[in-house]
């Protein structure tokens, strides 16, 4: 574990070996289907270049990104793997996509009309977000020539409720299978992302697309998390002060001290992605003990009640663990009333970052 430097106010540690272990677990579970890796949004905030390089070294040969720029950044360091761009193609020259050998995921016949070459075809089976609509699918079945000049490698769709015990999962799976059969296109099929992998072999088809699970988010909410934890976040205490009733803490005086105690101010705030929804709800850990977050999360600072912690452990220069083994991304998300995806992708650029494993 890399120690925090004197000038660092917070340290985000990312375990590349844990990411690789999570990918291997999913690959084994999905076999014989191929396991790709979704590294969009800068690998969910953890650094796409570093993450993808570690996964490629471990054997991953297919990656998904959201935008063309993300694909270009990845191609600069990964010359050989397949890189699919989920947003597809947009009106205008497609030279960057072609030159980089990126593979667009075509989400409509309008996008298909802009493209020639290798592609994936996205059919909507119930999300009503991206993907060919029912009328477009029927048109394509009636006239396959609409895709003249397009080499359809992959036909894919996306589950709406994969992390829930929902009848919609089986309905979408059946609809996808029927549509793919009727279309008769593509060498491969893909339906399952992280949670979909754990719905069983019927959902695996030829390729699965794990994203959040690679980064430690639980793909099976309500059950034990099968994934290794990837992220640790430590914040440095800037100041500890004595407080007493009727003193208040932070903006809006939203926390009123009930009696004598001590409050530690930590150099992390919503500018660092520590969600404002954690105000008066979150907590941190010092030497294994929980310390509640009191007052509002502000731009650069948060405050914790450290009254129950020895002064030898809670002092200026000491650290509070904000994310770690005893308080993982899903736990933080539950406190904020959101999901682990948002917590990860919000993690800010001001943190000092340390990568461990992955051949580092």
**How many Å is the Cα radius of gyration of the chain?**
23
Question: What's 104's DSSP letter?
Answer: E
236 an active-site residue?
A: no
Residue 314: half-sphere exposure toward Cβ, Cα within 13 Å: 28
Residue 41 to residues 24, 227, 347: CA-CA distances in angstroms? 22, 20, 11
| Alpha-carbon span 273 to 213, nearest angstrom | 20
Long-range contacts of 195-198 (CB under 8 A, 24+ apart): 195/159, 195/162, 195/163, 195/219, 195/220, 196/159, 196/162, 196/169, 197/26, 197/29, 197/30, 198/29, 198/226
Cα–Cα–Cα angle for 195, 359, 209, nearest 5°?
Answer: 20
Question: Three-state SS for 6?
Answer: coil
> Tokens 């990845």 sit at which residue?
74
Cα–Cα–Cα angle for 299, 301, 307, nearest 5°?
Answer: 150
The continuous run of DSSP H or E covering 65 comes out as: strand 62-65
Cα–Cα–Cα angle for 224, 354, 286, nearest 5°?
Answer: 60
Which one is catalytic: 40, 215, 270, 351? 40
The number of angstroms, rounded, from the C-alpha of 32 to the middle of its chain's C-alpha atoms is: 25
Alpha-carbon dihedral angle through residues 352, 354, 355, 360, given to the nearest 10 degrees: 120
Of the candidates 191, 197, 195, 198, which has an alpha carbon nearest to the alpha carbon of residue 157? 191
> Tokens 């003990």 sit at which residue?
289
> Tokens 């008769």 sit at which residue?
184
Which one is catalytic: 44, 236, 251, 341? 251
**Residues known to be catalytic:** 40, 251
């Amino acid at each position: 574990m890399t120690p925090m430097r004197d000038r660092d106010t917070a340290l985000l540690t990312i375990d590349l070996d844990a990411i690789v272990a999570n990918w291997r677990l999913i690959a084994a579970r999905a076999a014989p289907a191929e396991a790709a890796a979704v590294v969009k949004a800068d690998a969910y905030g953890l650094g796409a270049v570093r993450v993808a390089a570690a996964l490629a070294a471990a054997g991953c040969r297919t990656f998904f990104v959201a935008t063309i720029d993300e694909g270009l950044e990845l191609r600069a360091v990964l010359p050989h793997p397949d890189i699919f761009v989920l947003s597809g193609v947009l009106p205008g020259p497609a030279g960057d996509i072609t030159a980089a050998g990126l593979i667009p995921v075509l989400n409509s016949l309008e996008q298909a009309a802009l493209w020639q070459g290798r592609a994936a075809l996205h059919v909507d089976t119930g999300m009503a977000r991206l993907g060919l609509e029912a009328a477009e699918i029927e048109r394509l079945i009636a006239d396959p020539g609409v895709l003249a000049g397009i080499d359809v490698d992959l036909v894919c769709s996306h589950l709406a409720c994969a992390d829930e015990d929902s009848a919609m999962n089986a309905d979408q799976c059946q609809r996808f299978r029927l549509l793919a059969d009727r279309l008769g296109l593509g060498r491969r099929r893909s339906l399952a992302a992280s949670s979909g992998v754990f719905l069983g072999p019927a959902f695996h088809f030829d390729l699965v697309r794990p994203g959040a699970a690679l980064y430690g988010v639980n793909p099976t909410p309500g059950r034990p998390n099968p994934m290794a934890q990837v992220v640790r976040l430590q914040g440095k205490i800037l100041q500890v002060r004595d407080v007493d009733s009727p003193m208040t803490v932070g903006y809006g005086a939203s926390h009123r001290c009930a009696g004598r105690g001590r409050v530690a101010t930590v150099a992390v705030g919503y500018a660092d992605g520590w969600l404002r929804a954690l105000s008066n709800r979150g907590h941190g850990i010092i030497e294994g003990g929980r310390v509640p977050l009191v007052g509002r999360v502000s731009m650069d600072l948060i405050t914790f009640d450290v009254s129950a912690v020895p002064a030898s452990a809670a002092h200026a220069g000491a650290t509070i663990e904000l994310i770690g083994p005893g308080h993982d991304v899903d736990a933080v998300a539950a406190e904020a009333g959101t999901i682990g995806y948002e917590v990860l992708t919000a993690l800010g650029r001001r943190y000092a970052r340390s990568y461990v494993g992955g051949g580092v």
